[in-house]
């Protein structure tokens, strides 16, 4: 018997891509229903992350015109990770399996069929992984390599070249709902669930409309979030660096005193450089520790990760 698939698609200012995205998804979902891969109750579920353009208006129109489309609107901008969580937690009562993906469809939708087949083969989680980055510029490719290698060095295992394109079964999402932390990085959190999983490879395409939301600063923010949410090694590193700095500057101080006794006075720039080095190390240490303290502060407040302003799902119970 065919099972129900929901595609959870966060949207933030995506009015330029939604018409084409919905057209392609309509074709894909209907084709899979005809091939008896998924049930006729399957849907594409858009999550509007408080967009400033006409994104929510377009989603409502799609819902009114086509039963395959549904969605919800968040009351405030909660960020991509929370938008994914909001969508998954909302549809898990209706879906047997959920695929999360970006609205620009750079992740090849033809991989959806393969993910569903892997699900029927007994996998609760199926990761969509890019087969190559040959089409990426050096500016995109190099930081990505640094990111994955850095995360591995810091003790956090990630699926290389996997982002948000994945399938999860209902029971995997139920297990994920038990993780209540506010600071989310799903690509590192989901592997911790430990369910049987597999990988589907695909070619990532160019964005066909609109602008990418992944600026340098957002990527840097994701990198920081990933590290400080899953690894204590930066604190250990800074501690050891502090000890090493103290030993080095103690040696410099002893050397300077000996030279002064012998009547030789070293250039004052050496001392100034030492002061700056120590000051920089301290500030860096305080910054990293502050990041962890800030996350602890966020977690202890127990604020909701998202608030739903409007949803269409109640109409389809």
Please tell me whether residues 140 and 249 are part of one structural domain.
no
CB-CB contact of 125 with 172 (8 Å)? yes
196 and 255 within one domain: no
Q: Are 240 and 139 spatial neighbours (Cβ–Cβ below 8 Å)?
A: no
| CA–CA gap between residue 275 and residue 289 (Å, rounded) | 21
With beta carbons less than 8 A apart as the criterion, state whether 94 and 316 touch: yes
pLDDT of residue 25: 96
Count Cβ atoms below 10 Å from residue 142 Cβ, excluding itself. Answer: 12
- Between CA 19 and CA 233 the distance in angstroms is 45
Q: Residue 248: which domain range?
A: 233-301
Q: Are residues 96 and 186 in the same domain?
A: yes
Whether residue 312 sits in one domain with residue 281? no
Q: Tell me: do 226 and 247 sit in the same domain.
A: no
Q: Are residues 124 and 261 in the same domain?
A: no
Residues 253, 202 share a domain: no
* φ/ψ bin of 250: left (φ > 0), alpha (ψ from -120 to 50), beta (otherwise): alpha
Could you tell me if 107 and 241 lie in one domain? Answer: no
Tokens linked to 217: 């600063």
| DSSP codes joined into one string, the chain | --B-EEEEEEESS-TTTHHHHHHHHHHHHHHHHHTTSB-TT-EEEEEE-S-SSSHHHHHHHHHHH-TTEEEEEESS---HHHHHHHHHHHHTTT-SEEEE--TT--B-TTHHHHHHHHHHTT-SEEEEEES--TTS-HHHHHHHHHHHHHHHHTT----TTEEEEEEEEHHHHHHHTT---SS--HHHHGGGG---EEEEEEPBPPP-SS--S--HHHHHHHHHHHHHHH--HHHHHHHHHHHHHHHHHHHHHHHHHHHHHTT----HHHHHHHHHHHHHHHHHHHHHHHHHHHHHHHHHHT--S--EEEESGGGG-
**What tokens does 260 get?**
């002064």
The C-alpha atoms of residue 18 and residue 83 are separated, in whole angstroms, by 17
189 and 209 both lie in a single domain: yes
Residues 84, 57 share a domain: yes
Q: How distant, in Å, are the alpha carbons of 27, 91, 251 from that of 43?
A: 12, 10, 67
Domain count, the chain: 2
pLDDT tens sequence for the chain (317 residues): 789 999 999 999 999 999 999 999 999 999 999 999 999 999 999 999 999 999 999 999 999 999 999 999 999 888 888 899 999 999 999 999 999 999 988 889 999 999 999 999 999 999 999 887 666 555 566 666 676 676 666 666 778 778 889 999 999 999 999 887 777 788 888 988 889 999 999 988 765 555 555 555 565 666 666 666 656 666 667 766 766 776 777 777 777 777 667 766 666 656 656 776 777 677 677 767 777 776 776 667 666 777 888 887 754 44
pTM of the predicted structure, to 2 decimals: 0.72
- Asked if 124 and 167 count as a contact pair (C-beta separation under 8 A), the reply is no
Structure confidence at residue 286 (pLDDT)? 75
- Domain of 114: which CATH number? 3.90.550.10
Exposed/middle/buried for residue 158 (C-beta within 10 Å: 0-12, 13-18, 19+): middle
Do residue 83 and residue 57 come from a single domain? Answer: yes
> Do 156 and 12 share a structural domain?
yes
């Amino acid at each position: 018997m065919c099972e129900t698939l929901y595609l959870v698609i966060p949207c933030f200012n995506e009015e330029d891509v939604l018409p084409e995205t919905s057209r392609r998804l309509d074709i894909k979902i209907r084709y899979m229903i005809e091939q008896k891969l998924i049930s006729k109750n399957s849907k594409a579920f858009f999550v509007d992350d408080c967009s400033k353009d006409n994104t929510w208006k377009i989603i409502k129109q799609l819902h009114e015109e086509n039963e395959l489309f549904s969605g919800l609107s968040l009351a405030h901008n909660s960020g991509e990770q929370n938008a994914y969580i909001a969508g998954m937690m909302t549809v898990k009562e209706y879906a047997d399996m959920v695929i999360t993906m970006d609205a620009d469809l750079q992740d090849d939708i033809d991989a959806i069929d393969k993910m569903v087949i892997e699900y029927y083969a007994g996998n609760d989680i199926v990761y969509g992984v890019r087969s190559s980055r040959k089409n990426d510029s050096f500016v995109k490719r190099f930081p990505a390599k640094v990111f994955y290698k850095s995360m591995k060095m810091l003790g956090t295992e990630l699926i290389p070249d996997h982002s948000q394109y994945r399938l999860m079964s209902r029971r995997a999402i139920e297990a994920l709902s038990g993780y209540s932390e506010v600071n989310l990085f799903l690509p590192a959190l989901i592997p911790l669930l430990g369910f049987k999983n597999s990988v589907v490879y695909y070619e990532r395409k160019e964005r066909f409309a609109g602008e990418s939301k992944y600026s340098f600063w957002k990527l840097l923010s994701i990198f920081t979030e990933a590290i400080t949410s899953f690894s204590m090694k930066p604190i250990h590193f800074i501690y050891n660096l502090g000890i090493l700095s103290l030993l080095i500057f103690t040696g410099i101080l002893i050397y300077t005193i000996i030279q002064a006794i012998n009547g030789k006075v070293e250039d004052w720039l050496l001392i100034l450089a030492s002061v700056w080095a120590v000051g920089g190390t301290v500030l860096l240490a305080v910054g990293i520790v502050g990041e962890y303290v800030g996350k602890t502060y966020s977690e202890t407040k127990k604020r909701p990760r998202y608030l739903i302003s409007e949803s269409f799902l109640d109409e389809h119970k």
